[in-house]
Amino acid sequence: MSTILENLNWRYATKKFDATKKVSSENLETLTEVLRLTPSSYGLQPLKFLVIENPAVRAKLLEKSYGQNQVVDASHLIVMCAFNDVDDSHVEDYVQNIASVRELPVEQLAGFGQYMKQNLGYMDAPQKKLWASKQAYIALGQFLHACADLKIDATPMEGFQPDGYDEVLGLKEKNLHAVLVCPIGYRSEEDQNQHLKKVRKAKADIIEFI
Amino acid sequence: MSTILENLNWRYATKKFDATKKVSSENLETLTEVLRLTPSSYGLQPLKFLVIENPAVRAKLLEKSYGQNQVVDASHLIVMCAFNDVDDSHVEDYVQNIASVRELPVEQLAGFGQYMKQNLGYMDAPQKKLWASKQAYIALGQFLHACADLKIDATPMEGFQPDGYDEVLGLKEKNLHAVLVCPIGYRSEEDQNQHLKKVRKAKADIIEFI
C-alpha cells in the first residue's frame, strides 16, 4: 500500500498558499467528517473544530499568528479547540448519545459513566484542560493524513497566540480554548519549500524493534 | 474520496485480538515508515517508537496495563515514547541532518538553529517534556489512519502505567518516557465490540463554520 507513503511524502508544511484556489464543498464535507470521527480517550471528544472562511475574522487572527500569512491566504483555516473544563455533564451527554445510537437503556451504561467520572475526578482543573488539549493532537495527525490523501495542502501550527485566538473567537465564553491551527488549501507555485527534500530521522534512530 | 471515511468508520478500539494473526513484514515496513514521517513541531521529532513482538517483554508490560490483554494478544505492540529532555544537542543533530539531506552548508541553517534553541529555551524542563509528549499524539492520529487504510486493527491506549512501562523498557536511561501504547493486529471474531455502532457527536455539535 505504497499510496499511503506517497501521500505522506507529498505533504509538507505549506509556506505559501495560492489564495485563488478553494477547497471544494465536497472535500470540506469529507474533512469535517474526518475530524468528527477522530478517536479520543473514552470516545469523549472534548473538542470542537472551527472551519473559518470569513476574511475579516482571519485578518484579526493573523495579528495573533506571528505574521504567518497562511492564516489568511489559505482556502480555509481550521482551529482545533478543546474544552477548558470536562465535567460530569459531558460524561452524561456522552452516555446518553451511546444509549441513543446503540439503542440501549441508559441504565445499562451507568457503570461506564461512573468509571469515566471517577477517572476524570482524579485530575484537577489544569490537568483536565491539558488532557482535553492532547486529544486535539490526535485529530491533527488523522486530519493531516486525510488532507494528504485528498492532495489538499495544510500547515499545522502550534506557533500562534492562543489567548489572542480565544479572544478573537470568543472561545472562553464557550468553555473552549484554541489548541492547534491548520490552514488548508493549495500550495502556491511560488512556494519554494515544496521543492525541498523532506527531512526526517533515519529509521534506525526513531524505530526500535524489541 | 469516500474510502477515507469507509476506513475511519471501519476502525474501532479493538477489545480482543486474534492472537494467531500477525501483521506482515511488508505492512510493518509501511507502518514504521508512517511513524517516521509523522509531522512534528519544527520537524524536531522528539520521539521514538518501539515495536514490540517479544512475548516475555509484553507479559511484563501487561502487568502495567490494567489487565488489558490486547497488550499480549495483538500481533505487535507499539509504544510511542517522547524525550524527557530536548536540549541543544537535539537541535544541532537536526540542523546537521537538514544540511546533509538538502546538501546545504550547515552555516546557512545557523539562524534556524538559533531560533529553535531560543524557543525551546522559553520552556522549563517539565514544559519541554510535555511539549515533546504532545507530538506523540500527532503520531498516533496519523498512525491510526494508516492502520485503517491497511485494514489493520489497533487499540489506542492512554490508560497504562507510564512509570511501569519506563521501568520495564529501561526508558529513563535512554532519556525517554512512554506516552501512548497501541497494540496492532487483527480483531478476534469473538470481539463483540466490532458489531457496535460507532458513537460520535453530531456534526453540528463538533464542527462550526465561521
* Residues A88-146: tens digit of each pLDDT: 999 999 999 999 999 999 999 999 999 999 999 999 999 999 999 999 999 999 999 99
Using one digit for the tens of pLDDT, what is the confidence trace for B71-117? 999 999 999 999 999 999 999 999 999 999 999 999 999 999 999 99
B50 CB neighbours in chain A (<8 A) are: 208-210
In angstroms, the Cα distances linking B7 to A41, B3, B10, B29, B148 are 20, 6, 5, 20, 5
Q: Give me the mean pLDDT over the B45-49 stretch.
A: 98
**Domains identified in chain B and CATH numbers:** 2-85+128-189 (3.40.109.10)
Q: Give me the mean pLDDT over the B159-179 stretch.
A: 97
Using one digit for the tens of pLDDT, what is the confidence trace for A138-154? 999 999 999 999 999 99
B130 CB neighbours in chain A (<8 A) are: 130
Instruction: Report residue A64 CA to chain centroid gap.
Output: 18
Residue A2 confidence (pLDDT):
61
**B2, B33, B57: residue with CB nearest A5:** B33
Question: How far is Cα A183 from Cα A153, in angstroms, rounded to an integer?
Answer: 8
Q: Closest Cα partner for B193 from B151, B144, B154?
A: B154
Amino acid of residue A72? V
Strand A176-185 versus strand A207-209 pairing type? unpaired
CB contact under 8 A, A196 and B102: yes
Residue B2 confidence (pLDDT):
61
Mean pLDDT of chain B: 96
Question: How far is Cα A84 from Cα A88, in angstroms, rounded to an integer?
Answer: 13
Contact B155, B14 (CB under 8 A): yes
Q: Which of residues 58-87 of B touch A (CB under 8 A)?
A: none
Q: Closest Cα partner for B113 from B9, B189, B42, B210?
A: B42
Secondary structure of residue A46 in the 3-state scheme: coil
Residue A155 has pLDDT above 90, yes or no: yes
Amino acid of residue B186? Y
Is any Cβ of chain A less than 8 angstroms from the Cβ of B150? Answer: yes
Is any Cβ of chain B less than 8 angstroms from the Cβ of A97? Answer: yes
- Closest CA of chain A from B64, distance in Å: 17
In angstroms, the Cα distances linking B104 to A135, A167, B46, B114 are 37, 42, 23, 17
Strand B47-52 versus strand A207-209 pairing type? parallel
CB contact under 8 A, A197 and B102: yes
pTM, to two decimals: 0.97
Residue A1 has pLDDT above 70, yes or no: no
